[in-house]
Amino acid sequence: MIGKILKIMVRKIGFLSVVTICTVSLMGFAADNVTARVPVILDTDIGDDIDDTWALIMLLNSPELDLKLVTTTYGKTEYRAKLIAKLLTIAGRTDVPVGMGAGGNKGVGGQEAWVKDYDLKSYAGKVHEDGVQALINEINTSSQPITLISIGPSTTVAEALKRHPEIAPKAVFVGMQGSVRKGYNGRAVSPEWNVKANIPAAQKALLAPWKQTIITPLDTCGLIRLKGDRFKTLRDSQNVIVKTLMENYRIWAKKATVDELKESSVLFDTVAIYLAYPGTKSLLTMEELSIGVTEKGITNIDPAGMKMSVATEWKDLGEYENFLIKRLMK
């Protein structure tokens, strides 16, 4: 009976009520009134694909997670650090340190116009020139296991493991990494970018003896794209951080105005943020699999591989998209 009533309400009052109704049903896996927050480090190649920016804002709006450090990876360190620092400043989170990671300083990307006049020295928080060491220190000095969220190629994580391999058993690794049964757009398995971009680093990171390893491969993260009323709710929002996100998306997408944006790109990295939350991931099918990484960058099911928890299918993709909107607008 209740189910029928809810369906009638949705038909009558539209999309915004779907978000409200879903919020109630999601309380079991991501409650706002959390008591034990998970300490996390975000390692990101922000500034290439736009989904890293979405993921960082989702993380900042997640009370379940206690952000201790953001590190850059896969080069372009100053460009990426400027993006992170400016976003943290707008979000009022200059308490979060920024670490300049491995891979070199050369290069910029599609959001360069947004930070071209930003001086990294103006950041009110701490900027670590050696972000790799900052990551190591954060894991080694934490009173509880750190969750390391990896949403880029593993250049920085691999360097940290090379310097101090003992960090692995002290941390939980959560990654947007790989392709297990499906590839891009639900097609055949293929090398996923974060693995393919630096295969030796991916092998070192994914096969390390972490306290726990959890990944969202393309099978699940490759399906997240906000369209229609869902996207319009964000595009038209007056929330400061959402407007900042839309402006970055506009620049990245090479549009003259925000109104020209009709849907999101694929938001791969947001699923890794969700996987870092404490508790059961009720919207996903999680399988315990042994995963290997081939020399060509394929993450295959391999009995000799590393055991990890893999998000292989969605139980309710629409409900996740509703939840994502709620978090971005928090």
Alpha-carbon torsion, ordered 311, 197, 137, 78, to 10 deg? -120
DSSP 119-147: -GGG-SS-EES-HHHHHHHHHHH-SSPEE
DSSP code at position 37 = P
Give 187's contacts (C-beta < 8 A, 6+ positions apart).
none
Decide yes or no: CATH 3.90.245.10 for domain 34-328. yes
Handedness of CA 209, 63, 274, 237 (dihedral sign): negative
Instruction: Say what the pLDDT of residue 226 is.
Output: 98
Query: What is the percentage of the chain residues whose pLDDT exceeds 70?
Result: 89
Q: Residue 36 — very low, low, confident or very high, per pLDDT cuts 50/70/90?
A: confident
Give the Cα separation of 37 and 175 in Å (integer): 19
- Quick: pLDDT tens for 120-147: 999 999 999 999 999 999 999 999 999 9
Q: Using the structure block, give the residue that is written with the tokens 């002290």.
A: 170
Decide: pTM greater than 0.85.
yes
pLDDT tens digits along 42-87: 999 999 999 999 999 999 999 999 999 999 999 999 999 999 999 9
Q: Where along the chain do its domains lie?
A: 34-328
Dihedral over Cα of 153, 80, 163, 275: its sign: negative
- Per the listing, tokens 């849907």 go with 263
Residue with tokens 């006049």: 117
Cα torsion 212, 216, 219, 223 to 10°: value is 160
**How high is the pLDDT of residue 92?**
98
Residues 6+ apart with CB under 8 A from 92: none
